[in-house]
Chain A
């Protein structure tokens, strides 16, 4: 997110912040987890999309916001959702919107885009596979052509909002190359296994696809012809994840400093101890680097700059590692109180830990950076 937000973006940010503080307070995550209630409800998502959260990438004629800088605006909302640890499948819904805009038929666009934008339809992205395979181009789920139909077999992991999604956008390997399909949740042969709640704001699920039969109309783009579209979806996911994670890291860092200023030990505030000040200085440095590369990635992706691929992986590698490392150290600085269920620290740690691995681990992205650099 830019340092200098325009008035429109500042308004968007304030609107999102106020709404999320009221409609999705962090304390509600704990209550929902204890009650076994879902963190995300369609009512909440309808309210959020009512404010246009999911309409930013969508053109006006499909019910979208039609703003001048769709991605930059979307990143503002992603950052606010990160700060608030808000539930809501902003990331996968945005990726699916991106896919439909880039590769969907006019019929598909008419059928799906308005509903995604207003929240009446929820489609999530099923990209990850067992063995921590996250790059869409490496999908191993198979799609065998059978007349006018495709038959999909394979497994997907860590699919966000798997509990509420109406459809899944599933990547799979066809004879011509990687393809993607829209599959309704009740399609025969599709089994959804919801995971226990780790990130208290999100429910992930694994998909087993056993001979799931879909018509050719379910294809989003031509098999083997959507390499650039899939890569863009992947970078968009990394971009929104980076913005969300950097923002939540910024918030917990600010709260930690506030705590250190007020907590006394041996007649001094904790904030006055150089051993702690130097740790805080290092965290500040890597936090600013995280926010900086998140912004650079957003601009590169919005501009269609070919450097966005490297920025995306560098952002993931840096933010994925540093968010967890810094939050863990913030937990140490808070001491015992941060080890309790009632403290918010673990909620941030849970979210950052999940974000470290979903869409590829920092180690995988360091390797991808080597590949992107010709090594």
Chain B
């Protein structure tokens, strides 16, 4: 599309505003991580319908190329959409698909893979998820054990993955597996994709501390992967995974290709949490209590910091004055802030937080129980601190005795250490 023919962001925003008002349901305050399975299945079903509606109206994938079902527009158009969509219910079940997997496929997939799957992701037909972490490989993901062994023009996948978001209601997954154990750990990996309901795949939802099953564990038993399902070259999977993780860290920022991050709904409901806590303090008669006011003031400060920090880090990265790993600054800020806000919510609710998830105070007690999920998921705080100190500031990297050693020897040495 020629730029001069492009609709202005303002006109696009106005058109989006009118369409949204007529077609999208009002937001109900994102429920976050404390929803139960039944509710979650319902949310996902509704998200698929909403996404289809948005796609058919020509608003899906605002920054994705038109040839793959997107709108081929700019960040300014996306921002206009996000502003117009504030306060409405959005298909946030597609956050991971649109914010992580679709951008990764766009970056590393073949033309055929992209043509086949990107339109389906944008139209609400395909929910994707990533299979990366393993029970024995979280922060040190390249130490993973799941193997894909070549057998002619196919691979056989065996092993287990964990912490995949909503795999039980998703359609496709990208999976990182070891294809050559005689190469050093990062070098012998390959990225594939597969239909989750393939023969040999077992998906087990994991019940979290809050009762819900947001995450899953998968088991692979001789799952057949055609060579055409490789994303990127064989044994070049770490590069793809690095790209994927970059998109994941970008999820909270304005750089994300995911459109469904609105001003009031950040996908995990935390922007709303602040308003709920202020209302709770008033409802509990604690609005005049100086200690409560200090805590709420602290929360308001944290909320005020986020957008300017994101804008600054993005500007620094865009100007080439900060490496792309600067996204770790935004991720760590969001993780620390949201953790602290959960602590504050709990503190203000006091004993009424113990009541269970039924009311505004009880929700604080439930959120607190799940507060560590956000400081681990998507890269733990400690990993973000490594990225910031080593990749952003250029401080010396941690020693890694398994670097440049064939992975089979690493395993042998692990066994020797007992």
| Chain A residues with a Cβ under 8 A of chain B | 2-4, 257, 260-261, 268-269, 271-272, 274, 277-278, 280-282, 284-285, 288-289, 291-293, 295-296, 310-311, 314-315, 317-318, 363, 365-370, 373-375
Contacts and interface: CB of A to CB of B under 8 A. Distances in A.
Interface string B301-314: 10011011111110
Contact of B332 (A268, A269, A281, A368): A281
A370 B308 contact: no
Contacts of B389: 277-278, 280-281, 284
Interface stretch (B206-214, B264-272, B292-300): B292-300
5 contacts: A3-B319, A281-B388, A282-B332, A292-B305, A366-B300
Nearest to B397: A272
**8 A-B pairs closest in CB distance:** A366-B297, A314-B304, A292-B312, A292-B308, A296-B308, A277-B389, A281-B388, A3-B315
Contacts of B293: 366-367, 370, 375
Interface stretch (B125-133, B179-187, B379-387): B379-387
B152 interface: no
Most chain B CB inside 10 Å of its own CB: which residue of A278, A282, A367, A370: A370
Given A311-B304, A370-B293, A296 B311 contact: yes
B385 A370 contact: no
B392 interface: yes
A315 B311 CA distance: 15
Contact of B301 (A271, A277, A317): A317
A293 B319 contact: no
Nearest to B290: A367
A315 B385 CA distance: 24
A281 B301 contact: no
Q: Choose among A293, A374, A375 the residue with the greatest number of B CB atoms under 10 Å from its CB.
A: A375
Contacts of A272: 395-396
Contacts of B79: none
A282 B237 CA distance: 31
Contacts of B310: 292
A370 B296 contact: yes
A369 B388 contact: no
B21 interface: no
B106 to A, nearest CB: 27
A110 B388 CA distance: 52
B307 A296 contact: yes
A365 B297 contact: yes
B294 A366 contact: yes
Contacts of A281: 332, 384-386, 388-389, 393
A73 B179 CA distance: 57
B398 A274 contact: yes
A177 B298 CA distance: 31
Contacts of A375: 278, 281-282, 287, 293, 296
A132 to B, nearest CB: 14
A277 B282 CA distance: 41
Contacts of B396: 268-269, 271-272
Nearest to A317: B301
B305 A318 contact: yes
B333 interface: yes
From DSSP, what is the main secondary structure of chain B's interface residues?
Answer: helix
Nearest to A4: B319
B404 interface: no
A288 B312 contact: yes
Nearest to B336: A285
B329 interface: yes
Contacts of B313: 288, 292
Given A280-B395, A284-B392, A370 B307 contact: no
Given A289-B333, A292-B313, A310-B304, 13 more contacts: A3-B315, A271-B395, A281-B385, A284-B389, A288-B313, A291-B312, A296-B308, A311-B308, A318-B304, A366-B298, A367-B290, A367-B294, A375-B281
B11 interface: no
Given A370-B293, A370-B297, A278 B385 contact: yes
A180 to B, nearest CB: 28
Nearest to A278: B385
B256 to A, nearest CB: 18
A367 B313 CA distance: 28
B321 interface: yes
Contact of B309 (A2, A268, A293, A365): A293
B253 to A, nearest CB: 12
A257 B388 CA distance: 13
A288 B307 CA distance: 12
Residue of B294, B319, B390, B393 contacting most chain A CB atoms (<10 Å): B393
Contacts of A370: 287, 293, 296-297, 300
Interface in B343-366: none
A295 B305 contact: no
Interface string B377-418: 000001011101110110110100000000000000000000
Given A4-B315, A314-B300, A375-B287, A285 B395 contact: no
A280 B298 CA distance: 22
Interface centre among A284, A288, A310, A317 (most CB of B within 10 A): A288
B316 interface: yes
A369 B295 CA distance: 11
Contacts of A295: 308, 311-312
A288 B330 CA distance: 10
